Amino acid sequence: MKSIFDKLTNTKLPTEFANEVEIIRQHRDNTMEMTKHMKKMVRHAVSLKHSPSSKARKNQQADEFNRLIKECDKSKNMFLEQGYYYILAKTSDLCSVLSKMHHEMEQQQHDQAYMPIKIWMDEEFPLMIKDMKRCQKATKALDSATTANVTAPSVEHSRKREKILEAHTLLFRQCKAELEKHKRTPRHHTLCLQTFVQHEYNFAKRALAEVEKAQAAMKNLCEKKEGERKMQKEQMAKEAAAGTVAEAKP
């Protein structure tokens, strides 16, 4: 199926805009594949355009961290009163924190990077192309009015041409201003991508800090449990020794 741009370019674009529109179109084509990958990376985010449905909330929670939480919660009940129980419980808590952080990151990436690019591709770019089509029609109307005025000069034809020329000039001025705005799009999209990557970096940095904090807590817990077991063994050894001495007495 032909796009609106393909249909438009079956006829000649306005000379004033042709090269610039083609550059913007190439940027749009180059960006399409990138936005597909971005969409996959923010698949758990909820669009601000719609209120989160129950299905969206369910999908938002269906990530790897939550699956790990379920596994930890299921497994820790097999090791009650053992060190493994506390390790699994701490791992579950860590996954819960990381899951929340990851969802926050995805939502920020979605709102601040993915959606601005997607809106431009789905709404703003097609609107610009429609404006170009209006310019084409305006140019044809002006050419027709000019030909009529040259072929059969009259006051009526002259006034009609002046009226069409005025509308044509206004439309082209508006399209030129709109095109200047779209020429800044690649720069804006680069900033969006930088924002997207920065959120990834911030998440990784915060996640590493949380993991190291959890590791330190687990280490302290293991050392504490090991100390308790050692003291328990020493106490049992003392009690056993005391019992042996008592039995040896006549």
Whose structure tokens read 């100390």? 227
Q: What is the pLDDT of residue 11?
A: 47
If one counts every other C-beta atom within 10 angstroms of the C-beta of residue 48, the result is 11
Would you say residue 9 has pLDDT above 50?
Answer: no
Domain locations along the chain: 4-214
Least confident of 15-24, 125-134, 173-182: 15-24
Structure-block tokens of residue 147 = 């030909």
Residue 250 has pLDDT above 80, yes or no: no
What pTM was computed for the model?
0.73
Condensed to tens digits (0 to 9), the pLDDT of residues 104-143 reads 999 999 999 999 999 999 999 999 888 888 888 888 898 8
**What pLDDT is recorded for position 51?**
47
Give the per-residue pLDDT at 81. 64
Tens digits of residue pLDDT in 20-34 = 888 899 999 999 999
Rounded to an integer, what distance in angstroms lies between the CA atom of residue 245 and that of residue 91? 46
- pLDDT higher at 245 or 75: 75
Element spanning 174, H or E:
helix 155-183
- Who has greater pLDDT, 245 or 178? 178
CA dihedral 138, 143, 145, 150 (to 10 degrees): 160
With contact defined as beta carbons under 8 Å apart, do 38 and 159 qualify?
no
Which amino acid belongs to residue 124? E
**What angle do helix axes 83-109 and 18-41 make, rounded to 10 degrees?**
160
184 C-beta neighbours (distance < 10 Å), count: 9
Determine how many CB atoms are found less than 10 A away from the CB of residue 43: 13
Residue % of the chain over a pLDDT of 90: 34
DSSP 110: I
The 10 Å Cβ neighbour count of residue 166 is 10
- pLDDT for 52-104, tens place per residue? 454 544 444 457 888 888 888 888 777 766 677 888 888 889 999 999 999 99
In angstroms, the CA 131 to CA 180 distance is 13
CATH architecture of 4-214: Up-down Bundle (1.20)
Average pLDDT over the chain reads 82
pLDDT at 10: 42
